[in-house]
């Protein structure tokens, strides 16, 4: 049995074109990590694929080198084992700061002018500095006393779907993929996003209220934390007879790392540096539609998919 693994590195520029100095640097980097020749395929003016072989035992070390190489750069490098890039069947997304730009709990906190307090706890949790369950408990407790009668309808008008999400989900549905949102946020908006994007599943937390719809500072039922997200990904895959290796998990926080680890592939979307270093791959562009480049689609193929 060969001790080599065929891999692909996808270079995605953050601007309209790949500058010449970046192209030179990436090719130098490829020579550093692989002793074999590589083939090159241009997917668009700002995206190239490089296919090559590496020693299987070195994959983990090379992955870390790839992620360190492009951290805080004007381009992303995504390393994958070349196992049918286009064969993905399930995509599970985080919601806050992934499918939408905002953190919903901070929007709710603004009704009581405590968004700064909530945001500080959120930041620490997303960095992995706080246990998610504890951070959620602390933040939800701060919301106690807010009248929730009209909040969800109002928030539906305030939330902004991330650039590229609508065409991405449209394309993935056309490709026959199942799509889910698994959020540490709250179910009313997760259901709204599910309906807006045509997703198949929505899972999130439920806020407790009293008889007058006043938030009581508690949540109801099992918390959708990192472990639960991973569990839900595996449940959805099993329900549809999908090998978890054909699943992709996409999120921005430390509580998304577990579901990335049980999926065949994981993408940290504009995540904190600590999360980027632990995630299987990082995408720091302006559009989530770039996920299709990671799957190996060319610009013309993408245009056909989103029509």
94 vs 9: CA distance, rounded Å:
24
Options 76, 94, 252, 256, the catalytic residue:
94
Options 3, 76, 84, 96, the catalytic residue:
96
CB neighbour burial string for 14-32, b if at least 16 within 10 angstroms, e if fewer: eeeebeeebeeebeebbee
Provide φ and ψ at 56, rounded to 5°. Answer: -55, -40
Q: Active site includes 243?
A: no
Within 10 angstroms of residue 110's Cβ, the number of other Cβ atoms is 14
Q: Angle at Cα 100 formed by Cα 272 and Cα 224, nearest 5°?
A: 75
Provide φ and ψ at 201, rounded to 5°. Answer: -140, 150
Q: Active site includes 94?
A: yes
Question: 42 by DSSP, 3-state: which?
Answer: strand
Say if CB 244 and CB 231 are below 8 A apart.
no
Provide φ and ψ at 284, rounded to 5°. Answer: -125, 35
Catalytic residues: 94, 96
């Amino acid at each position: 049995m060969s001790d080599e693994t065929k891999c692909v590195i996808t270079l995605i520029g953050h601007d309209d074109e790949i500058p010449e100095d970046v192209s030179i640097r990436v090719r130098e980097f490829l020579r550093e990590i692989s002793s074999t020749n590589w083939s090159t395929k241009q997917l668009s003016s700002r995206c190239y694929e490089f296919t090559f072989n590496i020693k299987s035992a070195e994959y983990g070390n090379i992955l870390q080198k790839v992620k360190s190489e492009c951290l805080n750069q004007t381009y992303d490098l995504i390393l994958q084992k070349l196992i049918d890039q286009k064969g993905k069947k399930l995509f599970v997304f985080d919601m806050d700061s992934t499918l939408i730009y905002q953190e919903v709990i901070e929007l709710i906190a603004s009704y009581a002018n405590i968004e700064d307090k909530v945001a500080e706890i959120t930041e620490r949790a997303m960095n992995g500095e706080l246990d998610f369950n504890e951070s959620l408990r602390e933040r939800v407790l701060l919301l106690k006393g807010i009248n929730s009668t009209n909040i969800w309808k109002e928030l539906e008008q305030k939330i902004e779907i991330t650039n590229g999400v609508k065409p991405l989900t449209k394309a993935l549905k056309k490709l026959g993929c199942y799509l889910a949102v698994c959020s540490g946020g709250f179910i009313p908006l997760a259901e709204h996003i599910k309906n807006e994007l045509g997703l198949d599943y929505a899972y999130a937390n439920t806020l407790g209220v009293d008889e007058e719809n006043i938030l009581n500072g508690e949540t109801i039922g099992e918390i959708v934390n990192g472990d639960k997200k991973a569990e839900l990904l595996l449940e959805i895959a099993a329900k549809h007879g999908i090998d978890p290796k054909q699943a992709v998990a996409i999120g921005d926080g430390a509580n998304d790392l577990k579901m990335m680890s049980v999926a065949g592939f994981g993408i940290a979307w504009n995540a904190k540096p600590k999360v980027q270093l632990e995630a299987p791959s990082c995408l720091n562009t302006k559009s989530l539609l770039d996920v299709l480049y990671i799957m190996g689609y060319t610009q013309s193929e993408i245009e056909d998919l989103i029509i």
